[in-house]
Amino acid sequence: MTKRWHQVNRLLLDNHFYALLLSSGLAIGLFAGRVWLSQSRTLSFLVWNLFLAWVPYFWSLWALSIHRRHPRRWWSLLLPGTLWLLFFPNAPYLITDLVHLYQRPEIPLWYDIGLLMSFVWAGCFLAVASLNMMHQIIRDYVGRTWSWIIVMGSLGLCGLGIYMGRFLRWNSWDIFLYPTDVLSDIGHRLIHPFSHLQAYGVTLLFAAFLFVCYGTFVSLKQRA
């Protein structure tokens, strides 16, 4: 039992679980403070969005634990890998919640700036941490160069997912509930790109931003 716990704890430490918990705790603490000061639950959707941001992290943690126990059973990674990719945009999606930043009479603007930025930070941190776990797995199978190509492709799909969530109001699970409608929206934008420049702009913007975030994360991790 003790050995098993040490293995789990080592996995969590290696993949920044406790630091992620701390950053999320700060965000939740600031939100609780806002509720207490304002006696209202304005911006409560941030808590739900933060919960969704943790979902891809746990899928990637699941995938990495399977890979370490059974490194040759690549097929056992299909389910957690697919779920991770579908839910991955939920983590950096918190960046787009900055659209809700404006002066409200019950709370100083500076407090809401700190509150929203704490949620944005937690979401970005969760995104790069979960991507790094999947990157480790992919690199073991296809090597360094191809793993980076797949990472960039994943970030492109993530940018598209952020666009679909913010502007088309689709959720990650809607691909199971309304697959025809979701694929129709994607297909229409692929067939008529010049009629949907916003979709391409948002996708590329967030993909580029996340690539820089991830590159910085990897660089710092290698130096540590």
* Distance set, CA 155 to CA 1, 13, 68, 117 (Å): 38, 25, 24, 21
State the Cα–Cα distance between residues 170 and 172, nearest whole angstrom: 7
Residue 47 pLDDT: 98
Residue 222 pLDDT: 76
Residue 5 pLDDT: 83
Q: Are 60 and 145 within 8 A, CB to CB?
A: no
Q: Are 89 and 165 within 8 A, CB to CB?
A: yes
- The residue type at 170: W
CA angle, 133 then 137 then 140, to 5°: 140
Helix (H, G, I), strand (E, B) or coil at 107: strand
pLDDT in tens, 57-101: 999 999 999 999 998 889 999 999 999 999 999 999 999 999 999
Is residue 224 over pLDDT 80? no
State the Cα–Cα distance between residues 203 and 121, nearest whole angstrom: 20
- The pLDDT > 70 percentage for the chain reads 99
Q: Are 68 and 82 within 8 A, CB to CB?
A: no
**Average pLDDT for 28-52:** 96
* Distance set, CA 113 to CA 30, 31, 103, 119, 212 (Å): 11, 12, 10, 10, 23
- Whose structure tokens read 């691909």? 175
Is residue 151 over pLDDT 90? yes
pLDDT band for position 29 (50/70/90)? very high
Is residue 44 over pLDDT 70? yes
Show the tokens assigned to 206.
Answer: 């967030």
Give the single-character DSSP code of 94: G
CA angle, 92 then 93 then 96, to 5°: 115
pLDDT band for position 1 (50/70/90)? low
Each domain of the chain, given as residue ranges in start order, spans 2-223
Q: Are 162 and 206 within 8 A, CB to CB?
A: yes
pLDDT in tens, 158-193: 999 999 999 999 999 999 999 999 999 999 999 999
pTM here is 0.94
Question: Could you tell me how many residues make up the chain?
Answer: 224
Mean pLDDT of the chain: 95
* Distance set, CA 122 to CA 28, 76, 78, 94 (Å): 10, 29, 27, 8
